[in-house]
Amino acid sequence: MNRRSFLAATGATLAHAAGPRITWGLAASEHSPDLRLRIEPCTLDIGHGVQINTVAYNSQIPGPLLRLKKGKPVTIDVTNASKNPDLVHWHGLTTDPLNDGAVEEGSPLIAPGATLRYQLTPNPSGTRWYHTHAMAMGDLSLAAYTGQFGFLLVDGAPDPGRHDKEVNLAIRHWGPHFVPMVETMRAESQNMPQTTGSDVGYDHATINAHMLDAGEPIRVKQGERVLFRLLNASATENVLLALPGHTFKVIAMDGNPVPNPYSVEVLSLAVAERVDAIVEMNSPGVWVLGSTLKESRDIGLGVIVEYAGRSGDPVWRDPAPAEWDYTKFAGKDAVPEPEETFTLTFRDAGALNSSKFDTWTINGDAWPNVKPLMVKRGKRYRMLFRNASGDQHPIHLHRHSFEVTRIEDQHLSGLIKDTVNVMPLQTVAVDFVADNPGDSLLHCHQQLHMDYGFMQIIKYTD
């Protein structure tokens, strides 16, 4: 059974068995929702004469900013005005499985024309986001290739620090199309297979709703401290960003304060990652905040930052080469020993069963034919991610956060995330406490990888 068949069968069953904590339709409740979202087709003018026909929340890109209070229950009615079943995932929240928005955990799909009420108690605080968790398979007009994403900010301790202005920036790629992967020669010592499947390329990119030099600039004043919340909402593309003449003081990752706030010239954001960074506006001028790759800026991945009283053509300067290193932001204290360690090896099994797409496996198994990871409530577990492929993999754990405890031979502590990017041939260890019973999905957040097998499920034994 492929993922599409599995989800269709599961969603049909769960639509009638969702239980008391998730409600179909407005008539089923006497109370109006706190918030409403509408999944609907829209046409987006991203600039330079480029229009995108897509599906979005409330016809806007990003979707409405949802600003919630930690611990204060909220109801959100989602109406599906599109032609395909869909659902919303509340990325980074410790929800129950029915409300999490992942069919693999038991969340119901929303049929076209139907309305579903989600009931959430926002936790933890920080920069979260919401997005579709449908599959696309070979159809690049669905799922994360659309405009279904938005910021979800949960207010509550700790304080993000003194700043004068907040700016939320979401990265998205548009005009997806399949491109053949060229066979590459691999060193025999790496023992890596050659692959001939398909990858996804893009015609355009935006920060929020516009391509570089198409929307309004970010206007700042000299001496301001600006809190940038940056989100990579792309379906498949990891990005590197810079703002010439400035540094980013990273204060949080995936919404969680980092143990060691640290300033860098270049930010790395894998798919689904978020970074909160303070920028001291101390270099007056008109600048490009954008991708470090010229070809990405050329298709729109950037935004202009304009100081008050300054004008002229925006300036870009290539930053000095630098490697992204999670350990710079982490502590070095010893961490508790886990109850158990799960070793998870990721591989590309090549195109199987006459598919033109590569199948991804974890320990040799592709979803849905996987062996669940079994955990006990209250225990601490370690997952050892071994990337035996030539691709980067942003690995996301639903309904929990984890602590990154080792990258290769470097031990670290205190870096709490829900998505970690595992580089080619790299090994990364993350620890989590099984404190939120119910099925929890673990997967690569690249849509093409997730659709073709790269998922695992964690189940509680009690």
Contact 273/421 with Cβ under 8 angstroms? yes
pLDDT tens track for 133-153: 999 999 999 999 999 999 999
Domains in the chain, start-ordered, CATH in brackets? 3-155 (2.60.40.420), 165-324 (2.60.40.420), 340-460 (2.60.40.420)
pLDDT band per the 50, 70, 90 thresholds, residue 161? confident
Element (H, E) at 206: strand 204-207
Q: Which residues pair with 311 in a beta bridge?
A: none
**Cα gap 404→286, rounded to integer Å:** 37
Residue 358, classed as helix, strand or coil, is strand
Higher pLDDT, 352 or 246: 246
Q: What is the mean pLDDT of residues 13-30?
A: 47
% of the chain with per-residue pLDDT over 70: 88
**Cα gap 300→204, rounded to integer Å:** 6
pLDDT tens track for 12-21: 444 333 343 5
Closest CA to 431 of 410, 441, 450, 417: 417
Task: Check whether 26 has a pLDDT greater than 50.
Answer: no
**Cα gap 405→279, rounded to integer Å:** 28
- pLDDT for 19 equals 40
pLDDT band per the 50, 70, 90 thresholds, residue 158? confident
- pLDDT for 160 equals 77
- pLDDT for 181 equals 64
Task: Check whether 170 has a pLDDT greater than 70.
Answer: yes
What is the average pLDDT value for the chain, to the nearest integer? Answer: 91
Contact 37/81 with Cβ under 8 angstroms? no
> Where do runs of H (alpha helix) occur along 281-436?
294-298
Q: What is the mean pLDDT of residues 109-136?
A: 98
> In what side-by-side order are the strands of the sheet with 373-375?
373-375, 455-460, 440-444, 393-397, 419-422
Q: Which residues pair with 238 in a beta bridge?
A: none
**Cα gap 172→44, rounded to integer Å:** 13
**Cα gap 396→419, rounded to integer Å:** 4
Task: Check whether 105 has a pLDDT greater than 50.
Answer: yes
Phi-psi region of 164 (alpha: psi -120 to 50; beta: other; left: phi over 0): alpha
pLDDT tens track for 51-66: 999 999 999 999 999 9
